[in-house]
Amino acid sequence: MPAAVTFDDVLAAAARIAPHTQPTPVLRSTAIDALAGCHLAFKAEHLQRAGAFKFRGACNAVWALSEAQARRGVATHSSGNHGAALALAATTRRIGCQVVAPRGAVTSKLAAIAGYGAVLHHCDAGIAAREAACAGVIDATGAVFVHPYADPAVIAGQGTAALELLASSGPFDALVVPVGGGGLAAGTALALAARAPGCRLVLAEPAGAAETRDSLARGERVTGFVPDTICDGLRGTLGAPGFEILHAHGAEVLVVDDASTVSAMRLIWQRMKQVVEPSSAIALAAVLGYRERFAGLRVGVVLSGGNVDLDALPWAAAA
């Protein structure tokens, strides 16, 4: 059972990663506010190093290692953003990095992983295949495993995005974040509970991978599902630590179909001139799709990443 994560861990992560991450700006759009019927503040994590919030958690995990652990290097399995983030974080400490990625992952994300210096290993699709391949790499190399979203240090690092947003632009009535494996969502829940307990935590989840909604509704993790969504970064199964934290904090889940997510992604590109990926745009799609829940409120939105396959834009076929 992983160690429990607390808000003190989030604060420690903020101090630990400060020399290596960059504070991301908060963006606003009066045009999108008018469409949404509320006041939106977008935390631009797509402008974080490696193009996603994932660098926060990966960096914290890498720099939390002891010297003996660091000499072994790190390893993970990832379809993209976490792998690239861990690869880059490893370079900041000058240690090795091994990443197992499923065949068929977004080409640009695989290129980023390799470009940041990681050794890339390919495996079949599916979490079981990823875990088995990663275990083999760890056995062969002795690397320290850094789970994409269930590692306590990763969760604590991801919570620093909300911590920054609250400090620079709060207060908020609600904060909306995408949810897949639950690392960002869980870290955000810890930050809100400590710094903004009156702020609602709203999770945006793809209709084709809505196991977080089902898990929280049932009070136990749902793991037997096959994801079917354009949001490649949100196909992971909600991790056990994330489930415990989100369940305890009463997080609300809004389910969004892929068509709405693509529309929100295009809107952000057109109106805000920001390159975000579907797994990021789903947060705005949730606000637009459930306007009545946010009417007139101050709403924070985490734009989680911007690593887009430019050769496969989701609206290209309709052009």
Give the strand pairing for 26-27 and 39-44: antiparallel
What is the rounded average pLDDT for all residues in the chain? Answer: 94
Residue 14 has pLDDT above 60, yes or no: yes
Mean pLDDT, rounded, for 46-50: 97
Give yes or no on whether 7-52+151-318 and 55-145 have one common fold: yes
**Could you report the per-residue pLDDT of 147-189, keeping only the tens digit for each?**
999 999 999 999 999 999 999 999 999 999 999 999 999 999 9
Task: Judge whether 143 and 137 are in contact, CB under 8 Å.
Answer: yes
**Could you report the per-residue pLDDT of 187-231, keeping only the tens digit for each?**
999 999 999 999 999 999 999 999 999 999 999 999 888 889 999
User: 55-145, what's its fold?
Assistant: Rossmann fold (3.40.50)
Query: Where do the domains of the chain lie?
Result: 7-52+151-318, 55-145
Distance of alpha carbon 91 from alpha carbon 117, whole angstroms: 8
Looking at per-residue pLDDT, the higher value among 127 and 214 belongs to 214
Q: Give me the percent of the chain exceeding a pLDDT of 90.
A: 85
Statement: the pTM of the whole predicted model exceeds 0.85: yes
- Closest alpha carbon to 245 in 5, 12, 57, 58: 5
Instruction: Tell me the CA distances in angstroms from 242 to 50, 272, 288, 295, one per residue in order.
Output: 23, 31, 26, 29
Residue 319 has pLDDT above 80, yes or no: no
H or E segment at 137?
helix 127-141
Class of domain 7-52+151-318: alpha beta
Position 1 scores a pLDDT of 42
CA 178 from centre of chain: 7
Distance of alpha carbon 88 from alpha carbon 103, whole angstroms: 21
Mean pLDDT, rounded, for 245-263: 97
**Could you report the per-residue pLDDT of 61-106, keeping only the tens digit for each?**
999 999 999 999 999 998 788 999 999 999 999 999 999 998 888 7
Mean pLDDT, rounded, for 251-267: 97
- Closest alpha carbon to 183 in 280, 53, 19, 50: 53
